[in-house]
Structure 1
Amino acid sequence: MSRIQANLLLTFVALIWGSAFVAQNRAMADVGPLLFTGVRFLVGSLVVLPLAVIEWRRLGREGRPLSWGDGGHIAGLGALMMLGAVMQQIGIQFTSVTNAGFLTAVYVPLVPVLAWLLLRQVAHWSVWPAAAGCLVGAFLLSGAHELSISVGDLWVLGSAVPWAVHVLMVGRWADRMGAPFLVASGQFAVCGLLSLGAATVMEPVRWDGLIAAAGPIAYTGVLSVGVAFTAQVVAQRYAHAADAAIILSSETLFAAAFGYALLGERLDANGLLGCGLMLACILLVQLTPLVGTLRRRRILTTPSN
């Protein structure tokens, strides 16, 4: 898979995640966020499980089964997903959804910074202005008019760290193991079980609520988790982590589009400006490396006089 193909697959992932916001919004009327997260991630794990079993058997035949260390990495990814979700959920209780949406987007510029600090990976120059532009675009799209830091804001801001580390490491570990489906199914199971454990302590767990939210749980469990998160793992074996963070942030754009189409939500001028800015940044980070590649190929294939 080429870098461009991986970026296009990540765009498809962002589209699915954006559409899932409608289902997530409707599910909150019947179940708590931790219970919803736990069940849908376990559903997603079951969706990918057949492919994971096939992959497990293939690795056994090839004489390179996963080690305990690999299992630890998969558990770590699941814990990062859980940690990001829990910190975000705690913060949302004490701040507005508008502020939460904006502050979560901090993971976009955080990914290339962590990639440089932890892995010594130098991102393409286009990543830095694109990351800053996505952050500004998310702020405009959120409709926020001022920045005031509360305890809830700090919790949500903190959640950007595990999300950024997850985006940074998921492709790296999946590529080392050569087992994207095992990584996907395993991390979903860990995240789901941890979320359910937290839900039994922090939320009322009711069977009738789960039945009422069965539709949104099925939609997000199968598509948002089973299909989209798995596609993310596959695509990030070939995409730069900083590119992935910026492209995945376009879920905000798709969420706004589906909210407009399905919920009748409308964007003001600032929201439209934010959408346009984020779209421009996503195109910048996808097309600029392609232009450079085409230019180098032209130079190599042009006969010298």
Structure 2
Amino acid sequence: MPRMTANLLLLTAAIVWGAAFVAQSTAMESIGPMNFTGVRFLLATLAVAPFAYFERRRVSNPIPLPVIGKGILVGVVFFSGMAFQQFGFATTSVTNAGFLTALYVPLTPVIGVLIFRSWPTPIIWPIVAISVLGAYLLAGSLETMKEGDILMLFSALSWALQIIFVGRMVSKYGNPLAFAFLQFATAGVLGFLGGLPFETMDLSSLQGAWFQIIYTGVFSGALAFGLQAIGQRYTPPADAAIILSGESVFAAIFGALLLSERLTSTQYLGCFLIFSCILLVELLPQIQKRLRRAKKKTEATDTTEASADIPA
């Protein structure tokens, strides 16, 4: 798959997640965070299961049995990120949550270097800095830190780890939909079990959040996270984190469309900076590739001319 196509898949995931931000926040009015997480990802598991099955039948190298355990561990990290985020919504502002969650952008390349000694291209670091600045401007301002802010920081750390692990596993083993299935099933079971002792699930709570459950389960879950797994097979984790950070921009857009929220000029500037980073991640590799080709062509021409100047 061309890298541009993979990046477009990641951008599509960011758009779907942007709308899910509204659904996640409004669902808490009817259902507890653990029950919501469990139900949405059990639904996502059912939605992606047929595609994972056909993928397994089509490929010649299905996931080895020992690697399934690794996929489940990634699912635990995935669940942690979602659970921290959902609980954080209850005790922090949307402003703080939007910025603190976006910290997975700088955390992704840093963790990649610290754990796996995987260095991104040098140009990624200034792009990461611009992206974080854009997220800060989009947030508007940070209020006093609260308990939920700590949960959002843990959520950002979990998302960074999930992006790195998914990228490495699908690059090595393929089968992105199978890994998505493992993540969803793990998160769904853990969410359901986590809600049993502390939350009550009844028909009225499911009815009150039915739209949010379907959207976050089928579209934000099965579709968007499936696109992430496919796209990350062809895109480095640090680049993927920057593209996926576009979810904060689309969250603001859908907030304006669906919740009548309005952006200030500073927030528009933040949107512009984040979009600029997404374009840079896409265009810079193409520019570098063309420059390398031009350099090789020039060197080949110089070599030919030098050979022609040598006396017979």
TM-score (norm 2): 0.90
Q: Which residue of 1 aligns with 2:75?
A: 78
Q: Secondary structure at the match of 2:197?
A: helix
Equivalent-residue separation in structure 2 for 1:233 and 1:37 (angstroms): 19
Equivalent residues in 2 for 1:1-305, closer than 5 Å = 1-58=1-58, 62=60, 64-145=61-142, 148-301=144-297, 304=301, 305=305
Shift of residue 43 of structure 1? Answer: 1.1
Counterpart AA for 1:24: Q
Shift of residue 246 of structure 1? Answer: 0.6
Equivalent-residue separation in structure 1 for 2:215 and 2:225 (angstroms): 13
Equivalent-residue separation in structure 2 for 1:238 and 1:259 (angstroms): 31
Contact 2:174 2:233 in 1 (8 A): no
Residues 190 and 18 (structure 1), Cα distance of their counterparts in 2 relative to 1, 3 Å cut: same
Shift of residue 65 of structure 1? Answer: 4.6
TM-score (norm 1): 0.92
Shift of residue 272 of structure 1? Answer: 1.1
Q: Secondary structure at the match of 1:201?
A: coil
C-alpha RMSD of the superposition: 1.8
Instruction: Figure out how many residues of one structure are paired with residues of the other and give that number.
Output: 301
Q: Secondary structure at the match of 2:29?
A: coil
Counterpart AA for 1:185: F
Counterpart AA for 1:27: A
Contact 2:18 2:247 in 1 (8 A): yes
Equivalent-residue separation in structure 1 for 2:53 and 2:76 (angstroms): 22
Deviations 1:41-94 (A, max 9, x none): 1111111101212233345xx4x4533321111101110011112223343433
Q: Which residue of 1 aligns with 2:309?
A: none
Contact 1:126 1:284 in 2 (8 A): no
Equivalent-residue separation in structure 2 for 1:95 and 1:55 (angstroms): 41
Q: Secondary structure at the match of 2:249?
A: helix
Shift of residue 145 of structure 1? Answer: 4.6
Residues 88 and 214 (structure 1), Cα distance of their counterparts in 2 relative to 1, 3 Å cut: closer
Contact 2:62 2:175 in 1 (8 A): no
Deviations 1:179-218 (A, max 9, x none): 1111111110101110111122332222211122212211
Equivalent-residue separation in structure 2 for 1:85 and 1:202 (angstroms): 17
Equivalent-residue separation in structure 1 for 2:163 and 2:139 (angstroms): 22
Contact 1:3 1:238 in 2 (8 A): yes
Equivalent-residue separation in structure 2 for 1:98 and 1:227 (angstroms): 27
Counterpart AA for 2:56: W
Equivalent-residue separation in structure 2 for 1:206 and 1:130 (angstroms): 46
